[in-house]
Amino acid sequence: MNKRHLLALAFVVSLALFLIACSKKEETTEQPAETTTAVQPTPIDQSTVGEVTGKVSFDGTKPKPHQIMMDQDPACVKAHGGKPVYAEDDEVNGNGTLPNVFVYVKSGAENYTFAAPSDPVVLDQKGCMYDPHVLGVMVDQTLKVVSSDPTTHNIHPMPKDNREWNMSQPPGAAPIEQKFARPEIMIPVKCNQHPWMRAYVGVVKNPFFSVTGSDGTFSIKGLPPGTYTVEAWTAVGGTPQTQDQTVTIGPKESKTVDFSFKAAS
């Protein structure tokens, strides 16, 4: 090998590398912070805990219920005996309160850590509708999806911060068990084969959440004394909206927090 040639070649190549290095765009990749350490629950003095209860009312004209068309899957039509079915997001209780509102402690409980309960939260598919429509799970708690329908569903949560998955569940198949690793309000869940089907899953770090039922009330128990921001989330009328309230709880105190929503335009 000719040394002079080698030298010249090395020079040329390093020049090229230098040029390339100069023109390289600077890139910074964000590494999402991930905590993998096992959760050690913070001890809470059960003798001092209080609770937050309340009611969510609906203000204004009721949204016109949207009838759901299930024609393409006769199994779904049959499950309802041919009766019309309406979208759950349009539901308002007879007493003017709102069902399906997810109320949870948004902030104030950061100093505590909680272990996820070992019991799964069950989401059923019944008559090509999700039951319940709105539900909460804790981070790393198992969500167990079962089906009571004689037709195939697919369960497709569409999270922003969590891992997306999409799985079919033919009739008779085993329940699907999945966990969410990060808190997220709210993860919409869809069945693509019955596009009207929708559930909302709230993933929270603490056990302080509740969903309003047919009386529009909620109650969050076991709160240690402190100041909290309580948020209510609803998708009434189809568009999600939230409201926050701050509440301070003394030892063994029970406070009432009420919310009132209008249908989002």
Partner 1 sequence: MASTVLTPPKHRAPSKSDSIGGNGHGWDGDGFGGGRGEPSPAGRPIPLHAYRMGMYMALAAILMVFAAFTSALVVRRGISNDWVPTALPGLLYLNTVILLASSATLELSRRALTAGRGEAFAQWLYATLVLGLAFIGGQLLAWRELVARGVYLSTNPSSSFFYLLTSAHGIHLLGGIGGLIYLVLRARRIVSAAKQRTIVEIAALYWHFMDGLWIYLLLLLTVRS
Partner 2 sequence: MALAVALVVTLITLISVGIFVAKVYWFPVDISTHGAAMDHQFLLTLIICGVIFVAAQLGLAYFVWRYRDKGDGRKATYSHGNNKLEATWTIAAAIVFIGLNFLGYNIWAKMHFTGAAPGALKIQVQAQQFAFYFRYPGPDGEFGPTHLEKVDDAIGNFFGLDRAHDQASKDDIVTATLGIPVNRPVELILRSQDVEHSFFVRELRMQQDIVPGMEIPIHFTATEEALKHNGGRYEIVCTQLCGLGHYKMRAFLQVMTEQDYEKWLQTQAAAQ
Partner 3 sequence: MAEAHAPTAHAQHAPQGFIRKYIFSLDHKVIGKQYYFLALFSVFVGLLLSILMRWHLVWPDAHIPLLDKLSPVGAPGGLMTPEYYLSLMTMHGTIMIFFVLTTAPQSGFGNYFLPIQIGAEDMAFPRLNMLSFWVTLAALLTLLSSFFVSDGPPLAGWTAYPPLSAVGSVSGPGEGLGQDLWVISIALFCVGALLGALNFIATTLELRTRGMKLMRLPLTCWAWFITAIVGLLSFAVLFAAGVLLLLDRVGGTSFFVPAGLIVSDKILSNHSGGSPLLYQHLFWFFGHPEVYIAILPGMGITSHILSCFSRKPIFGYRAMTYSLMAIGFLSFTVWGHHMFVSGMSPYTAFAFSVMTMAIGVPSAIKTFNWLGTLWGGRLRLTTAMLFSIGFVSLFVSGGLSGLFLAQPPVDVNLHATYFVVGHFHLVMGVAAIFAMFGGTFYWFPKMFGRMMNETLGKIHFWLTFVGVYAIFMPMHYLGVEGNVRRYSTFIDDFMQPLLPVHKFMSIWAFIVGGAQLIFIFNLFWSMFKGEKAGINPWESTSLEWTVPSPPPHDNFAGKIPVVYHGPYEYGVPGAEKDYIMQDSPEVVAESH
Judged by the rule CB under 8 A, the positions of this chain that interact with partner 1 are 1-2, 5-6, 8-9, 12-13, 15-16, 19-20, 23, 25
- With CB under 5 to 8 Å by kind, the binding choice for 19 among partner 2, partner 1, partner 3, none is partner 1
- With CB under 5 to 8 Å by kind, the binding choice for 106 among partner 3, partner 2, partner 1, none is none
Binding residue (CB under 8 A) for partner 3 from 165, 227, 239, 254: 165
Shortest Å distance, C-beta 191 to partner 2: 9
Confirm or reject binding of residue 264 to partner 3 (CB under 8 A).
no
- With CB under 5 to 8 Å by kind, the binding choice for 172 among partner 3, partner 2, partner 1, none is partner 3
Confirm or reject binding of residue 192 to partner 3 (CB under 8 A).
yes
What span, in angstroms and rounded, lies between the C-alpha atoms of 131 and 68? 16
Asked if 144 and 176 count as a contact pair (C-beta separation under 8 A), the reply is yes
**Closer residue to partner 3 (CB): 150 or 250:** 150
- With CB under 5 to 8 Å by kind, the binding choice for 67 among partner 2, partner 3, partner 1, none is partner 2
What span, in angstroms and rounded, lies between the C-alpha atoms of 107 and 231? 9
Question: Phi then psi for 189, rounded to 5 degrees?
Answer: -120, 135
What span, in angstroms and rounded, lies between the C-alpha atoms of 256 and 177? 35
**Closer residue to partner 3 (CB): 53 or 182:** 182
What span, in angstroms and rounded, lies between the C-alpha atoms of 185 and 111? 20
Binding residue (CB under 8 A) for partner 3 from 53, 57, 168, 241: 168
**Closer residue to partner 2 (CB): 53 or 154:** 154
What span, in angstroms and rounded, lies between the C-alpha atoms of 233 and 243? 7
Binding site for partner 2 (CB under 8 A): 66-73, 84, 87, 89-90, 151-152, 154, 166, 168, 190, 192-198, 238
The SS3 assignment for 228 reads: strand
Asked if 231 and 244 count as a contact pair (C-beta separation under 8 A), the reply is yes
Nearest to 113 by CA among 211, 21, 44: 44
Query: Where would I find the beta strands (DSSP E) of the chain?
Result: 50-58, 67-68, 85-86, 102-107, 121-126, 129-131, 134-138, 142-147, 153-157, 167-169, 176-179, 184-190, 198-204, 209-211, 217-223, 226-234, 241-249, 254-256, 259-261
- Binding mask 129-158 toward partner 3 (x if CB under 8 A, else -) reads -----------------------x---x-x
Shortest Å distance, C-beta 59 to partner 3: 27
**Closer residue to partner 2 (CB): 7 or 167:** 167
**Closer residue to partner 1 (CB): 19 or 173:** 19
What span, in angstroms and rounded, lies between the C-alpha atoms of 192 and 236? 22
Binding residue (CB under 8 A) for partner 3 from 63, 188, 225, 240: 188
